[in-house]
Amino acid sequence: MNRRDHRLDRIRQAALTIGLGAAGLAIFLAIWTLASLKLDNDVLLPPPADVLTTYGELIADGSLAGDVKASIVRVFAGFFAAASLAVPLALVLAYSRILRALVMPLIALIRPIPPIAWIPLAILWMGLGDPPSYFITAIAAFFPIFINAFAGGTSLVEEHVNAARSLGASPLALLTTVMLPSALPSIATGLRIGLGQAWMAVVTAELVAAQSGLGYMIQISRLSLETSRVLVGMTVIGLLGALMIGSLGVLERRVIVPWHYPR
Amino acid sequence: MLSIRNIGKTYPNGTAALREITLDVGAGEIVAVVGGSGSGKSTLLRLISGLDHPTSGTIDVDGTRIVAPHPAVGIVFQEPRLLPWLTVEGNVGFGLAHLSRPERRHRVHQALKRVGLADYALRWPRELSGGQSQRVAIARALVARPSVILLDEPFSALDAFTRVELQDHLLEIWADTRPTLVLVTHDIEEAVALASRVVVLRPFPGRVAQVSDVKLARPRDRLSHSFDDEKRAILSALDTTLARRAPPAA
Ligand SMILES: Nc1ncnc2c1ncn2[C@@H]1O[C@H](COP(=O)(O)OP(=O)(O)OP(=O)(O)O)[C@@H](O)[C@H]1O
Ligand SMILES: [Mg+2]
């Protein structure tokens, strides 16, 4: 197959994939519409068209943007705090047997506690508002990032170290030219998973402990039986989550570890 | 010139890998090292490369004692061991960090051209075939212009065609600048095709069993009778090392 055929083939494949995805979505919306017509109860299940109208209203009055912004700020605050703690800690533990023995049992004990179980403690410590949400998102993002970064740190290939040493790399140069790059694919995976977890956790935290954000908006709308608002909140959460994880995936393949993926 | 004096290597776990190895390799000479599995061939190269230290004895290259990796000694491993996160260019230029960027690029380009991969500078290692990877590894060893190049079974993972092609290629490169080559191989034909001397190691612990000259003019004809005779001589030397081989301590 020559290069042009090859490209055409890839475009065809991509078109097919996108087409099928769109078809799946359309089928889902159709079923939803039918179900809501059959139920005929806007509190239980408003039709997609109503949800779309509500989208329009919430965008027009600016409240959706406000809630999105509040949630995103919290997610990124927690995510960056978690990442800047988890990655160095994981790498240090990967290389130091003593520290590993000291810290790992603790981590094994804390890790199974779901982020949601931290919420009461977080509220007691920090009250309602932003801080508990930062804390919960950070907890949620921390473990996937830590676990993956640790795996990356321990995946060092001795042959690569020897190759670099034989070419004159100093111990310090080894750290930046061999150890860090070998850990990078796993770190990138951890960041992607961690961001997803943080996004889910922020909504959970806002359901209980905040006075703004998408989670809060869902909760308030439920209390006032405005189900189409609840669905706006939920779909926005889905869309933004997919978008964030997707862009991080692209960043990973194009920028962070392009050498790890075939072109 | 490479001078190995009475070196011994016992690993921390007690394995005596090498004992009393003494060997001089003249400048521009090609020496092949053959021997059964576990006879210490890789250990010997690791010691010469400075990646590991002998428990006794000394190694000098052009009068410099080898105690750590040294720019005068390049090494090509069995597996290419390119760093996957660097492009071909980055891998070849890895050891040239001390040079200015244009100088480095120039040297890298020259080395890649020498192994026939000038167009591959921007590829990732995973985008190369086994033979291409090994060429890059050779370019990487060449680029620092070492006076000694160590090769540990460099072509053993390649198919027969590619192997012969790369052997010939290695000879051409060698003819250019005449570095000293120490080539570990389990391929007797490769040893006879390339080397001016063949060192046969005997295992447990690794010692020199025999050193023989290959008295064939270059270029060598792999199909000639004299080539066969040389092969047979080395095979019979290997045979005796294998017959006397003691089982390793459990
Ligand atoms: N890092 C190490 N620690 C302990 N023992 C080792 C180590 N590396 C090698 N050995 C032992 O030293 C001996 C020589 O090993 P070496 O790898 O040098 O042999 P070799 O001749 O290269 O074998 P092969 O042909 O299988 O590659 C073997 O008995 C091996 O088990
Ligand atoms: Mg070996």
Per-residue pLDDT of A170-198, as tens digits, reads 888 888 899 899 999 999 999 999 999 99
Interatomic CA distance for residues B18 and B10, integer angstroms? 7
Interatomic CA distance for residues B13 and A237, integer angstroms? 57
The first and second tokens of residue A233, run together, are: 């909140």
Task: Calculate what percentage of chain B has a pLDDT beyond 70.
Answer: 97
Q: Which residues contact A25 (CB under 8 A, 6 or more apart)?
A: none
Ligand 1 atom 7: the closest Cα is on which residue?
A: B11
Residues A86 and A34 in one domain: no
- Which residues, given as ranges, of chain B have pLDDT below 70? 243-250
Instruction: Return the CATH number at A92.
Output: 1.10.3720.10
The pLDDT of residue B248? 59
- Determine which of A174, A177, A259 to mutate to test the interface with B (most B C-beta atoms within 10 Å): A259
pLDDT of A47 higher than 90 = yes
Residue A178 and residue B74: Cβ atoms within 8 Å? no
Residue A1: pLDDT band (50, 70, 90) is: low
Residues A30 and A126 in one domain: no
State which amino acid sits at residue B245: R
- Determine which of A155, A157, A158, A167 to mutate to test the interface with B (most B C-beta atoms within 10 Å): A167
For residues B149 and B181, the answer to whether their CB atoms sit within 8 Å is: yes
The pLDDT of residue B105? 92
The pLDDT of residue B244? 53
Shortest CA gap B235–chain A (Å): 31
Shortest CA gap A168–chain B (Å): 6
Give the ligand whose atoms come closest to the C-alpha of residue B34.
Answer: 1
- Segment A23-36 shows an average pLDDT of 95
> Closest by alpha carbon to B15, among B181, B221, B248, B180?
B248
The pLDDT of residue B211? 85
Residues A35 and A131 in one domain: no
The pLDDT of residue A161? 92
> Closest by alpha carbon to B74, among B50, B98, B55, B97?
B50
Please state the separation of Cα A122 from the chain's center in Å. Answer: 21
What distance in angstroms lies between residue A113's CA and the mean position of ligand 2's atoms? 48
Residues A25 and A155 in one domain: no
Q: What sign has the CA pseudo-torsion A193, A195, A196, A200?
A: positive
Q: Which of B49, B73, B126 sits opposite A259 (nearest CB)?
A: B126
> Closest by alpha carbon to B75, among B206, B184, B236?
B184
What distance in angstroms lies between residue B152's CA and the mean position of ligand 2's atoms? 7
Q: Please report, for chain B, the start and end positions of each structural domain, with discontinuous segments joined by +.
A: 2-27+37-212
From residue B240, how far is each of B32, B41, B183, B200 by CA, in Å? 18, 17, 21, 10
Neighbours of A196 (CB within 10 A): 18
Nearest residue of A to residue B93, measured between CA atoms: A167
Residues A67 and A168 in one domain: yes
pLDDT of A130 higher than 70 = yes
Please state the separation of Cα B227 from the chain's center in Å. Answer: 22
Residue A78: pLDDT band (50, 70, 90) is: very high
Residues A50 and A36 in one domain: no
The pLDDT of residue B204? 83
Residues of A in contact with B140 (CB under 8 A): 167
The pLDDT of residue B243? 58
Q: Ligand 1: does its nearest atom lie under 6 Å from the Cβ of B241?
A: no
What distance in angstroms lies between residue B42's CA and the mean position of ligand 1's atoms? 7
Q: Are strands B2-10 and B56-61 parallel, antiparallel or unpaired?
A: antiparallel
pLDDT of A32 higher than 80 = yes
The pLDDT of residue B220? 86
* CA-based radius of gyration for chain B: 18
CA angle A214, A217, A219 (to 5 degrees): 110
Interatomic CA distance for residues B7 and A64, integer angstroms? 76
For chain A, give percent helix, strand, coil, nearest 5. 85, 0, 15
Residues A86 and A191 in one domain: yes
Residues A60 and A105 in one domain: yes
Residue to substitute in B9, B33, B43, B182 for testing ligand 1 pocket (most ligand atoms within 8 angstroms of CB)? B43
Average pLDDT over chain A, rounded to an integer: 91
Tell me which residue has tokens 């250019």. Answer: B176
Residue A163 and residue B82: Cβ atoms within 8 Å? yes
Residue A257 and residue B85: Cβ atoms within 8 Å? yes
> Closest by alpha carbon to A141, among A198, A73, A76, A200?
A198
Q: Are strands B2-10 and B16-25 parallel, antiparallel or unpaired?
A: antiparallel
The angle that helices A180-209 and A63-95 make with each other, rounded to 10 degrees, is: 140
Q: Which of A166, A177, A262 sits opposite B69 (nearest CB)?
A: A166
> B76-88 burial, b if ≥16 CB within 10 A, otherwise e?
bbbbbbbbbbbbb
What is the position in ligand 1's atom list of the atom closest to the CA of B248? Answer: 29
Residues of B in contact with A184 (CB under 8 A): 85
The first and second tokens of residue B18, run together, are: 């090498």
Number of domains in chain A: 2
Residue A163 and residue B49: Cβ atoms within 8 Å? no
Shortest CA gap A179–chain B (Å): 11
* CA-based radius of gyration for chain A: 23
Domain span at A153: 42-260
- Give me the interface pTM, i.e. the ipTM: 0.84
pLDDT of A88 higher than 90 = yes
Residue A162 and residue B94: Cβ atoms within 8 Å? no
N-to-C CA span, chain B: 39
Q: Interface of chain B against chain A, CB under 8 Å?
A: 49-51, 69, 71, 73-75, 77, 79, 81-87, 94-95, 97, 124-127, 140, 144
Interatomic CA distance for residues B238 and B34, integer angstroms? 8
> Closest by alpha carbon to B45, among B73, B26, B22, B13?
B73
Interatomic CA distance for residues A98 and A102, integer angstroms? 6
Give the ligand whose atoms come closest to the C-alpha of residue B39.
Answer: 1
A84: exposed, middle or buried (C-beta count within 10 Å: 0-12, 13-18, 19+)?
A: exposed
SS3 of residue B215 by DSSP: coil
- Determine which of B81, B122, B138 to mutate to test the interface with A (most A C-beta atoms within 10 Å): B81
The pLDDT of residue B246? 56
According to CATH, the topology of domain B2-27+37-212 is Rossmann fold (3.40.50)
The first and second tokens of residue A70, run together, are: 């509040």
Per-residue pLDDT of A196-244, as tens digits, reads 999 999 998 998 888 899 999 999 999 999 999 999 999 999 999 999 9
The pLDDT of residue B11? 92
